[in-house]
Structure 1
Amino acid sequence: MGTEEAHDDHGHHLPAVEDWPRGFGEASWWPFVTALGAAGVYVAAALYILGRGDGAIVSPIAGPAALVVTIGIFLVGLYGWVYHAFVIKFWERDADAKSANKLRWGMLAFLGSELATFGALFGYYFYIRAGDWGSIFVGVPNLTTSLVIGNTLILILSSITLHYAHVAIRNDDRAKFVGGLAVTLLLGVVFIGGQIYEYYEFIIHEGFTLTSGFFASAFFGLTGLHGLHVSLGAVLLGIVFVRALFGQYSAERHVSVSTASMYWHFVDVVWVFLVVVLYVGAEVGA
């Protein structure tokens, strides 16, 4: 293969062609790594169940350990995918409104698939609530605590600060932009810490776990999936924040700020709906 042919790349010029492995056009291993990490969450859940009770066939620590590893793989894959697809060559391209709109529509399509995922789990919850399941709330601890109320307010506040940062960069106010991003990222980390502490209280002190019944499986499935999404959002905001520190945004070039904001506002709205349906709904139905 000649040099001219090797650099042709079939007429495409996307950042992914610089990714590993080389020599396969636009092929990339990063989506595969991300998918592998996501699939590993289900393996970790299976190991957790197999490690419970007197007839456990694996170590009780196998499930949690596998979960930590697979989430790490997922986050690494996501970072590599986002970085190589959207960041590494960004400043070598011209500001193109058409390309920016493609990315925004791509994010909307992704959020549509996420809405379907959450909708399936909410459908499962509504199904078990609609049937004659009078005992599903037996053993369920008090869910609507000051912790969940505080965490909800924190996440709502993070959407406000992110909107403030987004408006600031559109007005080319870099100082307010970076400050708003920093506060948003901090609030997101605090929310994640609050949810981890909530799980600790439920599992260790209340004995309320994934295997405690139908409601418990719905509760941990929905809140765990949402917690994973908030963690991913924090990673995206972290990338945006680091790029902001290097001055890589302006009033004309901030499409990744827009797409990250869309994702963050989405997970905030899902959380509010989740609190009303799951937390408050459990208190009403108990």
Structure 2
Amino acid sequence: MSTESSYYVPEQSKLPVLAALGMGLMAYGAGSWVQGGSALVLLAGAIVMVFTLYNWFSTVIHENMAGMNSAQLKRSYVWGMSWFIFSEVMFFACFFGALFYVRVLALPWLGGEGGHAGNDLLWEGFEPAWPLMTTPDMAVNGENAQFMGPEQHMSFPGWANLLGWLPLWNTIVLLSSSVTVHIAHTALKNSNRAKFNLWLGVTVLLGAIFIVLQIEEYIHAYQHMGLTLESGIYGTTFFMLTGFHGAHVTMGTIMLLIMFLRGLKGHFSPDDQFGFEAASWYWHFVDVVWVGLFIFVYVLA
């Protein structure tokens, strides 16, 4: 039943309980893993979550295709996705804020500015400059320091070959994918399904290319630059910002892949396409975040 005045209420389901179980296992497993334990609990939680989400979204898609969703329910989907993206904005704002705090406030304080005890008193030889290549611990203890800085920083362009331009290549890839997903959206509004499938497929491919390029960048950073999660505050902020963004790109690529498969099955119409629109909103969001990362993490490094 679907009318303007009704709100479809699905039957009782065990899926929310399974989702809570999966997230709990993932949180506990992740905590155990980083402390030297096994990753099996984390993997088990991920499997439970994949199973739950697959069944949950399959149910939602079936209900919508059967015409069971009212206008009110569809509006709730729009608001739900809007608040989700807002929460993601706040998530990245925290990490950009941490980067700002370290670069603009903490390092000058460590260097003695603003009346704080500086390197002359505590860490002779410490240079409070960003990127932080020499940690205060290194300045005091040298090679015996617990927290070693990186051998090289990830500025743009930083390497002696074309791979050093990876941040720029990834920027071009993501900005291009914003264009292709917009073309796909326009095609769907114009009932051109073949064009929609083509350009959405190109978008998914560009997302996969970005992920592969970022993996290559991480391999080079770890193996040849001494830049790791343990290489001081610079390594930590670099991998937290770019790593979480990479995770979001991966999730966005999976979302668009699902929309592509749905498009091949004939789902969506010019008047009923919010599943795809929600994924495209999310994709534009991760593109904007990457532009900020490119500027503040690579160009202004």
- Bucket of the pairwise TM-score, normalised by the shorter protein: 0.7 to 0.9
TM-score by length of 1: 0.78
**Aligned twin of 2:22:** 33
Structural mapping, 1:1-286, within 5 Å: 13-14=9-10, 17=11, 19-20=13-14, 27-34=16-23, 36-37=25-26, 40-41=29-30, 43-44=32-33, 46-47=34-35, 69=43, 72-73=46-47, 76=50, 79-80=53-54, 83-84=57-58, 86-94=60-68, 96-130=70-104, 131=106, 132=108, 134-135=128-129, 136-138=131-133, 139=150, 140-144=152-156, 145-282=164-301
Report the structure number with the largest CA radius of gyration: 2
Distance 2:66 2:30 in 1: 37
Instruction: Tell me the percent identity.
Output: 34
**Structure 1 gaps, min length 5:** 1-10, 22-26, 51-57
Distance 1:18 1:278 in 2: 47
What is the number of equivalent residue pairs in this alignment?
Answer: 250
Residues 34 and 77 in structure 1, CA contact (< 8 A), matched pair in contact too: no
Distance 2:245 2:45 in 1: 14
Q: CA deviation at 1:179?
A: 0.5
Q: CA deviation at 1:79?
A: 3.6
Distance 1:206 1:67 in 2: 32
CA 271–36 in structure 1, closer or farther in 2 if over 3 Å, else same: farther
Distance 2:218 2:259 in 1: 29
Amino acid at match of 2:193: R
Return the structure number with greater relative CO, CA threshold 8 A, min gap 6.
1
TM-score by length of 2: 0.74
SS of corresponding position for 1:89:
helix
SS of corresponding position for 1:29:
helix
Residues 95 and 252 in structure 1, CA contact (< 8 A), matched pair in contact too: no
Encode CA deviations 1:139-161: one digit per residue, 9 max, x unaligned. 34343231110011001101110
**Structure 2 gaps, min length 5:** 1-6, 111-127, 134-149, 157-163
Residues 18 and 48 in structure 2, CA contact (< 8 A), matched pair in contact too: no
Distance 2:41 2:219 in 1: 16
CA 271–169 in structure 1, closer or farther in 2 if over 3 Å, else same: same
